[in-house]
Amino acid sequence: MEEKKPGKAISHPMISTFQHPRLKKGKIVSAEEAVRVIRDGDTVATSGFVGAGFAEEIAAKLEDYFLATGRPRNLTLVYAAGQGDGAEKGLNHLGHEGLVRRVIGGHIGLAPKLQRLIRENKILAYNFPQGVISHLFRDIAAHKVGTITTVGMGTYIDPRNDGGKLNELTKKEGEDLIKVIHLEGSDYLLYKAFPINVALIRGTTADTNGNITMEKEALTQEALAIAMAAKNSNGFVIAQVERIAEPGTLNARNVKIPGILVDCVVVSRPENHWQTFATPYNPAFSCEIKVPVQSIPPMEMSERKIISRRAAFELKPNMVVNLGIGMPEGIAQVANEEKVLDLLTLTAEPGVIGGIPAGGLNFGAGTNMEALIDQPYQFDFYDGGGLDVAFLGLAQADQEGNLNVSKFGPRFTGPGGFINISQRAKRIIFVGTFTAGKLKVAVEGGKLTVIQEGKEKKFLKRVEQVTFSGKYAVETGQPVLYITERCVFRLTPRGMELIEIAPGVDLDKDILARMDFQPVIRQKPSLMDHRIFRAEPMGLKDELLAIPLEERLIYYPEENLFFVNFEGLYIRTPEEVEKIHSLVEKILAPVGKKVYTIVNYDNFNIAPDLVDIYTDAVKHLVDHYYAEVTRYTTSTFLRMKLGEALEVRNVAPHIYESREEARKALKKD
**Residues labelled as active-site residues:** 349
Q: 566: closest CA among 505, 629, 488?
A: 629
* Spatial distance between the Cα atoms of 617 and 125, rounded to a whole number of angstroms: 58
* Spatial distance between the Cα atoms of 126 and 103, rounded to a whole number of angstroms: 6
* Spatial distance between the Cα atoms of 502 and 533, rounded to a whole number of angstroms: 9
* Spatial distance between the Cα atoms of 27 and 574, rounded to a whole number of angstroms: 68
* Spatial distance between the Cα atoms of 292 and 252, rounded to a whole number of angstroms: 32
Q: 589: closest CA among 555, 550, 547, 551?
A: 555
CA atoms within 13 A on the CB side of 640: 3
Q: Which strands make up the sheet holding 212-213, listed edge to edge?
A: 243-245, 205-207, 212-213, 255-257
Instruction: Residue 447: count other Cβ atoms within 10 Å of its Cβ.
Output: 13
> Hey, is 194 helix, strand or coil?
coil
* Spatial distance between the Cα atoms of 66 and 94, rounded to a whole number of angstroms: 9
Query: Interior CA angle at 389 toward 315 and 159, to 5°?
Result: 160
The DSSP result for 623-646, as a single string, is HHHEEEEEEE-S-HHHHHHHHHHH
* DSSP code at position 547: P
* Spatial distance between the Cα atoms of 649 and 653, rounded to a whole number of angstroms: 9
CA atoms within 13 A on the CB side of 224: 16
* Spatial distance between the Cα atoms of 613 and 6, rounded to a whole number of angstroms: 66
Residues in Cβ contact with 220 at an 8 Å cutoff, skipping those fewer than 6 apart = 53, 214, 256, 351, 372, 373, 374, 375
Query: End-to-end distance of the chain based on CA atoms, in angstroms?
Result: 101
Rounded alpha-carbon distances, angstroms, from residue 373 to 108, 218, 249:
24, 11, 24
Residues in Cβ contact with 187 at an 8 Å cutoff, skipping those fewer than 6 apart = 150, 153, 180, 181
Spell 306-341 as b/e; 16+ CB within 10 A means b: bbbbbbbbbbeeebbbbbbbbbbbbbbbbbbbbebb
Residues in Cβ contact with 292 at an 8 Å cutoff, skipping those fewer than 6 apart = none
Instruction: Residue 248: count other Cβ atoms within 10 Å of its Cβ.
Output: 10
* Spatial distance between the Cα atoms of 140 and 104, rounded to a whole number of angstroms: 14
* Spatial distance between the Cα atoms of 376 and 122, rounded to a whole number of angstroms: 31
Q: What are phi and psi of 249, to 5 degrees?
A: -100, -10
Instruction: Residue 253: count other Cβ atoms within 10 Å of its Cβ.
Output: 7
Rounded alpha-carbon distances, angstroms, from residue 428 to 315, 328, 477, 483, 529:
11, 12, 11, 11, 20
Helices H / strands E in the chain, number of each: 17, 43
Does residue 72 have a cis bond before it (omega within 30 degrees)?
yes
* Spatial distance between the Cα atoms of 548 and 42, rounded to a whole number of angstroms: 58
